[in-house]
Every structure is written in C-alpha cells, then in structure tokens.
Amino acid sequence: MEARNRHGLIELHGVTHRYPDGTEALRGIDLTVAEGRSLALLGPNGAGKSTLLLHLNGILRPTTGSVRVDGAEVTSATVRDVRRRVGLVFQDPDDQLFMTTLYEDVAFGPLNGGATPDEVDRLVHTALHEVGLADAASRPGHHLSFGQRKRAALATVLVMEPRVLVLDEPTANLDPRSRRQMVALLASLGTTALVATHDMDVAWELCTDAAVIDDGTIVAAGPKERILTDAALLEAHGLEMPWAVRTGAADAPATIAP
C-alpha cells in the first residue's frame, strides 16, 4: 500500500501462488495492513481474494515471496503462533461449526490451545456475549438461523483474542436486518482487520483503507476515500462506487478501527 507502515501487523512481500494444476492465483502481491487500520480487499470473482486470505494464517504458503505477521514470517515453525494472532472467519459459517453445541464449537480453539477449564469457560462466555449469542450456548450450531451462524463463526475466532481479524464476505447472503447486525457488530470490535467483500457499502462503512485485486495482482491501494471514489478504476475491475458515494451521502467515518 502507499506510505507502507514498517510496523504493519500483516505484510505480504512479492507473494505469488501457483496451484498444483499450474493456475497462478497470485502474482507478486505487496500489501500491508498496519495496526489499528482496516483494509477492504475488493475485486471480481476469481481475482485471488480467497487465495490471498488463506495465506494470512498459513493455510496456504507462497510459491515465492513472504507473509509476515507482527514481524514474524509465516513458516512451519511459526504457524501455530500466527493462528493465535490472526483470526480467519470463512464465508460459510458451517465450515467453523461442527460440534454438538455452540459452547463446544467456541471452546474448541482455547481447549486445543491449552487453556484451563475455568479460562475456557470465561473466554467462551465473553465471546458469545460479544456476538449476542450468550443465550444460545447449549444449542447445536445447525439449529441457529444463518445470521446467527455467521455471528457464531465469528465467536469461534474472537474467543482466541486475535490481534487481526480476516473476514471473507462477512455479510454475504444475509437478509437486511442480519446484515445491519453484522456491520454493527464488526464496527464495535475496534480490531485491525482485512475484509474481503463484494459489498461496496460494507467496505465504505467499515474500513479505513481499500485495495483492488484483479487477476492475482493488486492494481490499486490506499485510503478508502481515494480508492472507493474512483469510478473509472472501479468500473475497470467490475466494481462500482458505494451507494453513499454515488448519492453524495459519504460523510460517515470508518468505524471498524479505533
């Protein structure tokens, strides 16, 4: 990004990724998310957004280049610690809800991280309260509504108290009320974040910065006020300006970061 912050919590340097079938999904990615900032990652389907996200906590590794979290390169030796620092929330909440009860789903991470039963109980109840699901602890995850499952999946990450949140389409397939609830919840967290989204209004409402990725390359990055108001740039990459920008109502400040 412009004015790269040398204290970036997330730093990608020259990252390429080639899948076994030869598909080159990322082509020399340089990107930084500085502490206290929130970055919207925007681009058409197939641009490389999901592949990039999977590099941020070591699910995928670069073919060339490096990914650093809080200054430490993501390697086999560091990946366990990286996954404590970087919380990845998948687009489909059912990828993260697989236990008998919601309590067990949220407790899974800290239990496997060696927390004591008392500490696990405290962390789980704090996370469920944070996402508005404290009363649903004993319910199976698959009995929740889709919007509740989205928030439950977020709780499975928040329970680990990550320094960075990585969110893949956090409002996808939500009805308007559930979308408003999710936006308000994310805005309340005050966490350094990277948000991949097709929802340009979410990008405007939640993020301080934006980056456009297309064909595996970052084509533009910078403050959201510059990127999300550039109609020609956005149109060239299958995107459009947020509603607030198009209608002249773009006066609300970004709120996900402190």
The pair of structure tokens assigned to 233 is 């740039």
pLDDT tens, the chain, 258 aa long: 333 444 689 999 999 999 999 999 999 999 999 999 999 999 999 999 999 999 999 999 999 999 999 999 999 999 999 999 999 999 999 999 999 999 999 999 999 989 999 999 999 999 999 999 999 999 999 999 999 999 999 999 999 999 999 999 999 999 999 999 999 999 999 899 999 999 999 999 999 999 999 999 999 999 999 999 999 999 999 999 999 898 887 654 444 443
Nearest-angstrom CA–CA distance, 116 and 79 = 22
Written as six digits, the tokens of 242 are 């947020």
pTM of this prediction? 0.90
Closest by Cα among 218, 206, 187 to 12: 218
pLDDT at 248: 81
Q: Residue 5: which of 212, 204, 218, 192 has the closest Cα?
A: 192
Nearest to 48 by CA among 72, 17, 12, 89: 17
The CATH code of the domain that includes 240 is: 3.40.50.300
Residue 103 lies in a domain: no
Q: How many domains does the chain have?
A: 1
Q: How many CA atoms lie within 13 A of 89 on its CB side?
A: 31
Of 39, 37, 52, 40, nearest to 7 by C-alpha is 37
Q: Establish if 108 belongs to a structural domain.
A: no
Count of Cβ atoms closer than 10 Å to residue 97 Cβ = 21
Determine, yes or no, domain membership for 117: no
Looking at the domain assignment, is residue 62 inside a domain?
yes
Show the tokens assigned to 87. Answer: 């919380």
Give the per-residue pLDDT at 7. Answer: 60
> For residue 236, is it within any domain?
yes
Domain assignment present for 50: yes
Do the domain assignments include residue 88? yes
DSSP letter for 143, please. G
Domain containing 220: what range?
A: 8-93+164-246
Residues composing the chain = 258
Q: What is the pLDDT of residue 5?
A: 41
Residue 150 lies in a domain: no
